[in-house]
Chain A
């Protein structure tokens, strides 16, 4: 796969297009506009861009006030500050009154790389998912990011969109269909299913290919919409396989792995292995070295599928 694009890059481009078609789009940033890629919007629509300085709590509250006055604010900063520093502002000023704020967070996960654990959000999906009224989206490539951003604008209410710093392979083309609350089956198999999102989708597809070589047939589901979660698709998929593996660049506590575990436990119990950060913070390093060190690789997924299948044989 030759073409690559960081999801944050696609976000920046989507904002420019949105700005042109909808005058109510307003973008807020907390002194990170070059990194979050909102800088281009700031240049194109300076009258609708608010640099709030390094003050995330006030940024979220201001976004709430803008939304209460009919604007569609996108509030951007790194995921760790958006959901951590400003958690309670999101809870009480945005989620509780169900205000139409889009929290577009970049630099999620350990693929932030060299900045280390303080800047690597590994629990953001868990804490956003716990909030009533909140929609949580974790797109897998630039195409899906663009579609998720547009879908977020059509959706009335708060949305958390998780994006990354790292350039990712472009997986989808313009025919790709994205819908909030729907998972996409990218590959069909008979033995096991890998449910992934974000950075891990491309890796899951590679793992499925490697497993096919060994005669293990794997379904790959892209669950970009962590909340609302597509119970129906997962249940249908689960009924056709013997075991499930989840793959996320996030702690296995509270994120995609938990969402899948909850659905399986209630709807169709199956052996499950959750691949992700095993209740640990990240550290400084090159993104792909960190993915390797923390077990977020094709090789690890291959092993995980075999482990899950061996549980099914017990």
Chain B
């Protein structure tokens, strides 16, 4: 996909997120919208995947360590063709496929069950280690939230990934600066972030997580780094693309009602129209 198409897809994924959260009546729009551009680049450009064969052994793996952003993952998987888009409207509902947090057993394309913060990152390490042991060239991607960095397990995994020289692992930090109880600086500061990751032995790339070209370049650079893992510290805006949700703590874990959704979708449709 070219950059314009990727931008259109990111916009579509944002519309999907809003649309699926309405009937769900709960869920996490803020941290899903902030990661929409990142997942778009991963699923529609960067990753080597086959939606017709979700368990293809040579595939690149993606672990949504910030599992509460499930809507953005489900939207990307549905748009990619892993399952019908109608499934999105069954999000979080009894007896339906799409669980509140990613479920690898029931949802095609989900590579790891996540939701308890910090845990997915370790699983991504395990996948990268397995790839090294088997001499396979697949890559593993893990998306972390900045609030998630307070979990000690993240730093256990960060230490291990550098120790085992996992250059087939790329972490992406969705650095939107907000968590449930306030800003990350208020709740539990993770500063200075790039320094911490460098000190843990990682190659660090800082970029704008909504700049498609920057993301493409960042992943490209990660490919070329040998002997250590890479993290893209992607500065993002929580709620990005929906003006009333942007940078608003209250939209971490609340679904929009029908009226709010219509307002959001209208703005998103106008935005995509401007792309031409």
Which residues from chain A sit less than 8 Å from chain B, CB to CB? 26, 47-48, 50, 52-53, 55, 57-58, 60-71, 73, 88-89, 92-93, 96-98
Residues of B within 8 A of A65 (CB): 63, 112, 122-130
Is the Cβ of B159 less than 8 Å from the Cβ of A93? no
Q: Which of A26, A48, A58, A71 contacts B160 (CB 8 A)?
A: A58
Residues of B within 8 A of A67 (CB): 126
Is the Cβ of B129 less than 8 Å from the Cβ of A61? no
10 A-B pairs with the lowest CB-CB distances in the bound complex, closest first: A65-B126, A61-B122, A69-B130, A58-B156, A65-B123, A55-B156, A62-B126, A97-B113, A66-B126, A65-B127
Residues of B within 8 A of A62 (CB): 122-123, 125-126, 129, 157, 160
Quick one: given A58-B156, A88-B116, are A71 and B130 in contact (CB under 8 Å)?
yes
Q: Which of B104, B119, B164 contacts A68 (CB 8 A)?
A: B104
CA–CA, A68 to B121, complex, Å? 13
Interface residues of B toward A: which range? 35 or more
The answer, yes or no, to whether B90 is at the interface (CB within 8 Å) is no
Cβ of B260 to closest chain A Cβ, rounded Å: 32
Which of B111, B118, B119, B131 gathers the greatest number of chain A CB atoms within 10 Å?
B119
The answer, yes or no, to whether B190 is at the interface (CB within 8 Å) is no
Nearest B residue to A64 via CB reads: B123
Which residues from chain B sit less than 8 Å from chain A, CB to CB? 57, 61, 63, 103-105, 111-116, 118-131, 133-134, 152-153, 156-157, 159-160, 163-164
Residues of A within 8 A of B120 (CB): 61, 93
CA–CA, A275 to B57, complex, Å? 49
Residues of A within 8 A of B111 (CB): 68
Residues of B within 8 A of A97 (CB): 103-105, 112-113
Quick one: given A89-B122, A92-B116, A93-B122, are A69 and B160 in contact (CB under 8 Å)?
no
Residues of A within 8 A of B130 (CB): 26, 65-66, 69-71
Which of A61, A66, A67 gathers the greatest number of chain B CB atoms within 10 Å?
A61
Is the Cβ of B153 less than 8 Å from the Cβ of A61? yes
Residues of B within 8 A of A88 (CB): 116, 119
Could you pull out 23 A-B pairs where Cβ atoms are within 8 angstroms? A26-B133, A53-B159, A53-B160, A55-B159, A57-B118, A57-B119, A57-B153, A61-B157, A62-B157, A63-B126, A64-B112, A64-B126, A68-B104, A68-B123, A70-B57, A70-B130, A71-B126, A73-B126, A92-B119, A93-B113, A93-B119, A93-B120, A97-B103
Is the Cβ of B123 less than 8 Å from the Cβ of A55? no
Which of A26, A50, A64, A89 gathers the greatest number of chain B CB atoms within 10 Å?
A64
